[in-house]
Amino acid sequence: MFESYLSRPDQRGSECAFTNLFVWQDCYGIYWTVVHDFLVIKVKRNEVDFFLQPFGGKDEDLPKLFAEIKEYHEGKPFEIHGIYDDGKERLAKAFSEMEFIEDRDNWDYVYLREKLASLSGRKYHG
């Protein structure tokens, strides 16, 4: 089931790997469900609940999905994290009032093999 939602080539982040979701599910309180043909993933980090961008589904069903998330969240504001460029474009079309804030501290990172092999001491500790 996860493969059908998460295997798109434009979804390369670590949160788009079933293995990561499964391994970290207890640590981060990760739960998932399928609603209106969207894979919805809820995460808890530092005592704050948030949702990952919805995977799959049809654009015209986004308002129905968000209405259900809002109801689940008891009408309080909620956050969506891990939004890729195509997801941002998709959400902006459906919700013109939605605010997007970049959080560089949570971007994925990739080490160059040479740099990783030559990490010395505590140079990169900070």
Residues 65-124 pLDDT 10s: 999 999 998 988 888 988 888 888 899 999 988 888 888 776 666 677 777 777 666 655
Contact present, 90 and 100 (Cβ < 8 Å): no
- Side-chain half-sphere exposure of 28, counting CA atoms within 13 A: 18
Give the burial class of 3: count Cβ atoms within 10 A of its Cβ; 0-12 exposed, 13-18 middle, 19 or more buried: exposed
Counting the structural domains of the chain, the total is: 1
Find the domain containing 66 and state its range: 2-117
DSSP, collapsed to helix, strand or coil, labels residue 5 as: helix
pTM of the model: 0.76
Confirm whether 111 is domain-assigned.
Answer: yes
For residue 12, tell me if it sits in a domain.
Answer: yes
Assess if residue 126 is contained within a domain: no
Specify if 38 maps to a domain.
yes
